[in-house]
Amino acid sequence: MPRILRQRVRPRDIWKHEAQDFTPWLVENLSWLAECLNIDLELEAIEQKVSEFRADIVCRNTTDNSRIVIENQLNRTDHAHLGQVLTYAAGLEAYTIVWIATEFREAHRVTMCWHNEITDRRFSFFGLELDTWMDDASRYLAQLNIVSEPDDWSRLSRPRPYQIHRQLY
């Protein structure tokens, strides 16, 4: 029987702290993120030092051995996190950049799309919005919605929609 999504829940009501709660949960559920991106992910590091900063999650694409940087944000996108994800990508020589937030400002979504347009095809910029829900049995569910991706990604990887659900508890 299908679950009925009863009530939207704020992600901060589930994960109080980005680094201490959400990042470890996402690492435990990398296969879910890999399915959403259609990329085979292998964890390389959590809170990886990049100069005097720390990247949330660093992975390897097991298909081509390229590096992937994942930046988490349990609120609306902001300029600080945009700068962080670009700094981490440059410092770690990552070819795939994944920015997860609860809401993408239009300017940041357009910026991610623009990076996909102007950079070499080896680079991929993904913007993912995180939605969380409670179902009719009071279980939490998470959903990732792709709001920005490389232009050819949707044609090559999988049919729409890009809504991937994962039961939390």
Question: Residue with structure tokens 């997860």?
Answer: 100
User: pLDDT tens digit string along 86-134?
Assistant: 999 999 999 999 999 999 999 999 999 999 999 998 999 999 999 998 8
Q: Evaluate if residue 145 carries a pLDDT over 70.
A: yes
* Range(s) of the domain holding residue 96: 5-167
Which residues are paired to 166 by β-bridges? Answer: 142
Q: What is the CATH number of the domain that holds 146?
A: 3.40.1350.10
Do the beta carbons of residue 66 and residue 95 sit within 8 Å?
yes
Residue-level pLDDT at 166: 54
User: Which structure tokens are listed for 39?
Assistant: 């990329």
CA distance 148 to 139: 28
Total structural domains within the chain: 1
Cα distances from 29 to residues 10, 84, 134, in angstroms, run 19, 23, 18
